[in-house]
């Protein structure tokens, strides 16, 4: 009888812990960027409509970020071929930018990959995104590694490296 009670209590604690973890993950806030996950149902209709007009993707997540100019909604999902797409929108439903994941360095124009490789020989990209503003390709963002160091790179469409930072 005591063994059954302990087993039942253990199962109840495990279930409660799992439910709490799921709820915490759904409400998770990234303290470094003031970013909070929100339910898609909490996204205002005007924001959702603008995001759907910007990209053809089924949105699977939403985040809200407090920035100096106000709130930014980030809605994301995956294309049929598994690539991530994220749309950032301002409170008034203006599309701030669209980030589209690219499969590999072969999908980046030669002048861009050449600029990255000349500055960081042996760079291995883990994630590449093309960033559009006002439906115009503005820059590429790379996450990867060179010389044993994790790097985040922003490169213009002309091949100029805008910023470099190391991942913490």
**Which is more confidently placed, 28 or 146?**
146
Determine the Cα–Cα distance for residues 104 and 131; give it in Å rounded to an integer: 15
Q: Which domain holds residue 148?
A: 103-168
Torsions phi, psi for 27 (to 5 deg):
-105, 5
Last residue of a domain, one of 97, 115, 133: 97
Per residue in 83-136, pLDDT (tens digit) is 999 999 999 999 999 999 999 999 999 999 999 999 999 999 999 999 999 999
Determine the Cα–Cα distance for residues 40 and 48; give it in Å rounded to an integer: 9
Specify the CATH number for the domain of residue 56: 3.10.450
Q: Which helix (H) or strand (E) holds 55?
A: none
Determine the Cα–Cα distance for residues 7 and 23; give it in Å rounded to an integer: 24
- Looking at residue 64, its pLDDT comes to 96
Specify the CATH number for the domain of residue 129: 3.10.450.360
Residue 28, CA distances (Å) to 21, 22, 59 in order: 10, 10, 18
Per residue in 141-155, pLDDT (tens digit) is 999 999 999 999 999
CB-CB contact of 63 with 79 (8 Å): no
Count of domains observed in the chain: 2
Strands 84-90 and 95-102: antiparallel
Q: What is the value of pTM for the model shown? A: 0.75
Determine the Cα–Cα distance for residues 15 and 21; give it in Å rounded to an integer: 10
Give me the residues paired with residue 37 across strands: 63
Whether residues 118 and 70 fall in one domain = no
């Amino acid at each position: 009888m005591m063994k059954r009670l302990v087993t039942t209590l253990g199962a109840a604690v495990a279930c409660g812990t799992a439910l709490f973890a799921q709820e915490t993950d759904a409400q998770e806030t990234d303290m470094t960027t003031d970013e909070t996950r929100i339910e898609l149902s909490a996204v205002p209709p005007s924001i959702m409509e603008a995001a759907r007009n910007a990209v053809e993707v089924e949105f699977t997540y939403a985040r809200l970020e407090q920035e100096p100019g106000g709130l930014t909604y980030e809605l994301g999902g995956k294309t049929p071929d598994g690539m991530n797409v994220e749309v950032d929108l301002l409170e008034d439903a203006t599309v701030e930018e669209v980030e589209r994941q690219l499969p590999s360095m072969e999908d980046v124009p030669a002048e861009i990959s050449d600029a990255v490789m000349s500055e960081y020989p042996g760079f291995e990209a883990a994630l590449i995104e093309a960033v559009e503003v006002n439906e115009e390709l503005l820059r590429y963002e790379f996450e990867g590694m060179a010389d044993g160091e994790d790097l985040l790179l922003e490169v213009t469409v002309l091949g100029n490296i805008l910023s470099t930072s190391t991942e913490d």
